[in-house]
């Protein structure tokens, strides 16, 4: 396998297909989808409900195995086939390289906002103690959550939980970020704040970012725009 992906990609999906169910209930969620994520690029993925957006994010990020096709990622100067790794290798790879914002947030109920971010830094071996706390607080501050840092999810609003989930994905400065509708519960002001954070992570920290959204107002923030419909992907002009 080549040591770098061509076309300046850092993550590449090749001919990905994925179906759910068996027999009569079989449904194709992805039909031959290929795309490149590039460092320093913020990409937007749109498409109707049920078109396969969450499925594509899960396949690209190493959470859901495709039926056919490959996901190649550059990591530590090598090209790796994400779905040829062992489960343990893939878990380590994800922990080290990938931030994921789930559509349903997936926060830990027992942890405060600050602890949700600190634990990512500790588990990944990025930072501990005072340094983890400082980085967690800085990220919460950027998300407008400084006053909420001691609250657990049950005492946060939907939009506050969503911003904690975004902070958790970004706090370790990951190479790859996948965000599934990260602004769906936010007012426009906070939505813009989140898009600016994602844009900074791409443009200043060279992350490759793929964001799913239904909101056309996000188009001016992104570098590239993909449309997924009925399991087929196409790149579209932003204008």
List residues near ligand ATP by CB under 6 A. 20-21, 27, 29, 47, 49-55
Q: Which helix (H) or strand (E) holds 97?
A: helix 87-97
20 binds, among Mg ion, ligand ATP, none (CB under 5 to 8 A by kind): ligand ATP
CA angle 82, 87, 90 (to 5 degrees): 40
Closer by beta carbon to ligand ATP, 43 or else 136: 43
Minimal distance, residue 213 CB to Mg ion, in Å: 10
49 binds, among Mg ion, ligand ATP, none (CB under 5 to 8 A by kind): ligand ATP
Give the pairing type, strands 224-229 and 41-46: parallel
C-alpha 80/C-alpha 64 separation (Å) is 17
Minimal distance, residue 90 CB to ligand ATP, in Å: 19
CA angle 78, 81, 85 (to 5 degrees): 105
Closer by beta carbon to ligand ATP, 22 or else 189: 22
Longest dimension (CA), the chain: 56
Closer by beta carbon to Mg ion, 53 or else 172: 53
- 72 by DSSP, 3-state: which? strand
Closer by beta carbon to ligand ATP, 96 or else 232: 232
């Amino acid at each position: 396998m080549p040591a770098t992906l061509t076309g300046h990609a850092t993550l590449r999906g090749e001919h990905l297909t994925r179906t759910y169910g068996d027999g009569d209930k079989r449904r194709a969620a992805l039909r031959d989808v290929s795309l490149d994520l590039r460092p320093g690029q913020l990409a937007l993925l749109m498409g109707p409900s049920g078109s396969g957006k969450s499925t594509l994010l899960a396949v690209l990020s190493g959470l859901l195995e495709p039926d056919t096709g490959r996901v190649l990622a550059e990591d530590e100067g090598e090209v790796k086939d994400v779905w040829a790794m062992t489960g343990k290798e893939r878990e380590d790879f994800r922990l080290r390289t990938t931030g994921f914002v789930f559509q349903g947030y997936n926060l830990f109920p027992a942890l405060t906002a600050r602890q949700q971010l600190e634990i990512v830094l500790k588990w990944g071996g990025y930072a501990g103690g005072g340094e983890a706390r400082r980085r967690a607080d800085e990220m919460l501050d950027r998300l407008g959550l400084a006053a909420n840092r001691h609250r657990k999810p049950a005492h946060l609003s939907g939009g506050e939980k969503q911003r904690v989930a975004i902070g958790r994905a970004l706090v370790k400065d990951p190479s790859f970020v996948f965000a599934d509708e990260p602004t769906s519960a936010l007012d426009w002001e906070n939505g813009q704040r989140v898009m600016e954070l994602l844009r900074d992570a791409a443009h200043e920290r060279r992350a490759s970012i793929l964001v799913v959204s239904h909101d056309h107002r996000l188009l001016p923030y992104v570098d590239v725009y993909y449309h997924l419909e009925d399991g087929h992907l196409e790149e579209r002009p932003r204008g």
